[in-house]
């Protein structure tokens, strides 16, 4: 089994395929296995790298809170790329993984060719941030109290998770089974120290406006907790496009794998031929949308 060391924490990873590298960064309630439907498609054309974040066996599970901050997760991506001799990569993240990918893109832009930001933004919106922080703390305590078996049953029936069960019960059962295998300690410490303590993406508005990287934002229209954050990112990022999948919750890559893969393939192809451009200044919403005296001749 392939492992690499990241600041004293052992990370498990897998590589499939060859070509331009794509690093897949999983969400809180998932692991490297939940990218399987993407790896099978994209490893035909790309070098796909999946891994388990710190706290997710078979990766190491540190017992210190300081090992779980968002900076640690961000730098794990870079250390993994260094270990594999990858200079630049397309990053595809979902939720917690999307945030890590965005942090990599802001901090190490020369290492990122493009970013797919899927279902990201939980807890970012100012109006709901305090509730998110409190819920993260309560959930972490509950996980430690009842264990992952019981916690998985509750987590996979959340308001943005039931969509997967309703569409694909086999896929939902598989995801729930993976979640039951996770570490209670690793999950709880991730919630308390990564999810709850990471800065809001709204805090980075000025920096995001200077980020000259191709970005695809993907969100389900029933993932209410992240929709507004993605609209904000669409407006803040100069080279962002936004895809909203109808009747879809949080696990967009599992709920609608065909649509997700098709749009990702189109996005990566556009990036590689230099066709994912900055927004045209003429599309500035501050400009008049009807007849403008200044444009008349």
Structure tokens at 293: 């005296």
Q: Is residue 205, in this structure, part of any structural domain at all?
A: yes
Task: Enter the pTM of the model.
Answer: 0.95
Tens digits of per-residue pLDDT, 232-266? 999 999 999 999 999 999 999 999 999 999 999 99
Check: CB of residue 84 under 8 Å from CB of residue 51.
no
Q: Return the CATH number at 144.
A: 3.40.50.1820
pLDDT value at residue 77: 98
Number of separate domains in the chain: 1
Q: Is residue 284, in this structure, part of any structural domain at all?
A: no
Q: Is residue 201, in this structure, part of any structural domain at all?
A: yes
- What is the mean predicted confidence (pLDDT) over 215-243? 97
Lowest mean pLDDT of 13-17, 49-53, 193-197, 265-269, name the range: 193-197
Q: Is residue 185, in this structure, part of any structural domain at all?
A: yes
How many angstroms from the chain centroid is the CA of residue 110?
19
CB hemisphere CA count around 235 (13 angstroms):
11
Rg of the chain's alpha carbons, rounded to an integer? 19
pLDDT value at residue 39: 98
Q: Is residue 271, in this structure, part of any structural domain at all?
A: yes
Check: CB of residue 77 under 8 Å from CB of residue 11.
no
pLDDT tier at 294, thresholds 50, 70, 90: low
Print the domain residue range for 168.
3-279
Q: Is residue 289, in this structure, part of any structural domain at all?
A: no
Asked if residue 132 has pLDDT above 90, the reply is no
Asked if residue 295 has pLDDT above 70, the reply is no
Mean pLDDT taken over the chain: 95
Q: Is residue 38, in this structure, part of any structural domain at all?
A: yes
pLDDT tier at 297, thresholds 50, 70, 90: low
Check: CB of residue 33 under 8 Å from CB of residue 100.
no
How many angstroms from the chain centroid is the CA of residue 148?
22
Q: Rounded CA gap, 72 and 77, in Å?
A: 9
pLDDT value at residue 125: 66
Lowest mean pLDDT of 6-10, 87-91, 135-139, name the range: 135-139
Asked if residue 296 has pLDDT above 70, the reply is no
pLDDT tier at 129, thresholds 50, 70, 90: confident
Q: Is residue 19, in this structure, part of any structural domain at all?
A: yes
pLDDT tier at 293, thresholds 50, 70, 90: low
């Amino acid at each position: 089994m392939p492992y690499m060391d990241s600041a004293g924490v052992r990370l498990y990873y897998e590589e499939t395929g060859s070509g331009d590298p794509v690093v897949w960064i999983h969400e809180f309630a998932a692991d490297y296995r939940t990218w399987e439907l993407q790896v099978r498609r994209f490893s035909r054309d790309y070098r796909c790298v999946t891994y388990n974040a710190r706290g997710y066996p078979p990766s190491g599970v540190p017992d210190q809170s300081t090992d779980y901050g968002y900076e640690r997760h961000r730098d794990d991506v870079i250390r993994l790329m260094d270990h594999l001799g990858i200079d630049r990569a397309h990053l595809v993240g979902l939720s917690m993984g999307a945030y890590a990918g965005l942090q990599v893109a802001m901090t190490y832009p020369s290492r990122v060719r493009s970013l797919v930001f899927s279902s990201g933004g939980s807890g970012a919106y100012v109006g709901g941030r305090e509730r998110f922080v409190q819920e993260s703390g309560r959930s972490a305590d509950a996980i430690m109290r009842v264990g992952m078996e019981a916690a998985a049953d509750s987590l996979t029936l959340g308001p943005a998770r039931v969509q997967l069960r309703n569409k694909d019960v086999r896929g939902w059962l598989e995801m729930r089974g993976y979640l039951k295998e996770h570490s209670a300690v690793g999950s709880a410490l991730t919630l308390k120290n990564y999810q709850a303590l990471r800065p809001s993406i709204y805090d980075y508005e000025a920096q995001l406006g200077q980020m000259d990287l191709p970005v695809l934002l993907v969100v389900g229209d029933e993932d209410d907790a992240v929709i507004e954050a993605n609209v904000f990112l669409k407006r803040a990022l100069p080279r962002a496009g936004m895809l909203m999948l109808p009747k879809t919750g949080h696990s967009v890559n599992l709920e609608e794998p065909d649509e997700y893969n098709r749009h990702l393939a189109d996005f990566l192809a556009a990036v590689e031929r230099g066709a994912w451009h900055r927004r045209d200044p003429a599309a500035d919403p501050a400009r008049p949308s009807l007849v403008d005296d200044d444009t008349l001749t």
